[in-house]
Structure 1
Amino acid sequence: MLMDPQNLPQRVRDVRNRIERAAASGERSVDCITLLAVSKAQPPELMRAAAALGVRDFGESYLQEALEKMAALREVELTWHFVGRLQANKTRPIAESFAWVHGVDRLKIAERLAAQRPYYAPPLNLCLQVNVAGETAKAGVAPADLPALAAAVAALPRVRLRGLMCIPPEEADAARQRAWFARLRQLLQSLNNSGARLDTLSMGMSADFEAAILEGATIVRVGSALFGPRPANTPPHTGGGRAPPATGTIGAA
């Protein structure tokens, strides 16, 4: 069941208040933290309402669904992030239509995104997904392999390596949550100490983004706290296709 749109303003306020409290606790500026609304399976009308409340960054996991939403919301200036699984045979529409891609963990994927990024578009922002806990069920580059991958991706044309992303194990304890996020922050610092210029930590979701902010998150990916649980009867959208030309799909970053 979809969330009642009348509840959205309060949910947005609640999430922003949580972000502000965490930022204050960590002595950080809230202006350095982007709220990325993970909107998979949510209708364009609800996203339009969120945009009217100041939410302008949206994360999508299912390509065909995302392209349809871009067409429906073409008149709204939004920044689109792809946060789903990356498949080599579907990189072209992602390269053509999104401003950010989170979850790159293979050079092959990054090379395809770079080759397929339109020449007229600004560089595609990339975050490398790191498997900070070495979980076999999760994607992500191993920390030991990260420096080589980061160096190779940073050298590609038409993409810009911005930072790192992780999905750590679910932890109820805030200290354990922070430990995983601290690991990603340390990896980014290590890369920068070696000459990289990374400025983005994409980490933290609805249940743990406060801990992520305390460890330096610059993008928090929030879905259920904003929109409620994802509708259970919504089938996954994994098809390809190209987005029609639209303002706001690749211009802002």
Structure 2
Amino acid sequence: MHNMSNKLTQVKSRIQQAAKSANRNPDDITLLAVSKKQSVEKVRELILQGQQDFGENYLQEAIEKIETLNDQQVRWHFIGPIQSNKTRSIATHFDWVHSVDRLKVAQRLNDQRPEHLPPLKICIQVNIDGEDTKSGVNPSEVATLCREIAKLDKIEMHGLMCIPAKEGTDAFTRMQALFKAVGDEISLHHWDTLSMGMSADLEEAIDAGSTIVRVGTALFGERKV
């Protein structure tokens, strides 16, 4: 467990250095620990080290962790593909959803968000490199989708998310430009989040304006398949 503490310190140091190089405030960048396929014990250890934001891809696994750790101050982020039959559980258990890519899903999340909970914070997932194997909205369709989702009352739309192609592209720069363009085109009250960058490329993402970096391997090591 001491090793996990060291890894958390190392990742935070990378974020601080990247922010400094980009002339940004490190406090404006959230570290999202991607805890899919990781044990409750490992998540609890990071919580004890002060980590508050955790991202999960698989709903049933996530709910088990959320219920086991319900005595902890944690913000849970759903970052995986969303099936329509899973929206009720996502709307009930999570604080953030990064992977909204169609209006139907947003409407279901909105309608199924429990009344006693605050609005669900979401990001629109953008298929920035037009890959057939990835979910996400075509960049040209983002503004139209945002206009429709902005009408929903139990959702707060905060920004955009992407998973770029593995081969080097200028995806982060294009995402930064898209984020600004949509914000300039539409008056969105909470438009403040760019969720991009992972263990291998968080520095590049921060340089391009990322506000949430999603880090798994650098914190937990290689996960079980």
- TM (norm. structure 2) is 0.97
Aligned CA-pair RMSD: 0.9
Task: Tell me if 1:101 matches 2:94.
Answer: no
Q: CA deviation at 1:195?
A: 2.8
Task: Tell me if 1:211 matches 2:187.
Answer: no
- Structure 2 equivalent of residue 118 of structure 1: 114
* 1:187 partner letter: L
- Structure 2 equivalent of residue 195 of structure 1: 186
Q: What's the % identity of the aligned pairs?
A: 49
Q: CA deviation at 1:72?
A: 1.1
Give, in whole Å, the separation in 1 of the partners of 2:88 and 2:187. Answer: 27
Q: CA deviation at 1:194?
A: 1.1
Q: CA deviation at 1:53?
A: 1.0
CA contact (8 A) 2:147 2:186 kept: no
- Structure 2 equivalent of residue 77 of structure 1: 73
Q: CA deviation at 1:54?
A: 1.3
Q: CA deviation at 1:71?
A: 1.3
- Structure 2 equivalent of residue 180 of structure 1: 171
Q: CA deviation at 1:114?
A: 0.3
- Structure 2 equivalent of residue 29 of structure 1: 25
Give, in whole Å, the separation in 2 of the partners of 1:144 and 1:92. Answer: 29
1:138-149 paired onto structure 2 within 5 Å: 138-149=134-145
Give, in whole Å, the separation in 2 of the partners of 1:74 and 1:99. Answer: 13
1:149 partner SS:
helix
Number of matched residues?
223
Name which of 214, 220, 223 aligns with 1:227: 220
Q: CA deviation at 1:196?
A: 3.0
2:123 partner SS:
strand
1:35 partner SS:
strand
1:2-41 paired onto structure 2 within 5 Å: 5-41=1-37
Give, in whole Å, the separation in 2 of the partners of 1:119 and 1:47. Answer: 28
Segments of 4+ moved more than 6 angstroms:
none
Q: CA deviation at 1:121?
A: 0.7
1:85 partner SS:
coil
Q: Which runs of 5+ in 2 are unaligned?
A: none
Partner deviation per Cα, 1:33-79 (whole Å, 9 max, x = no partner): 00000000111111111011111000011111111101111111100
1:101 partner SS:
strand
Q: Which runs of 5+ in 1 are unaligned?
A: 233-253
- TM (norm. structure 1) is 0.86
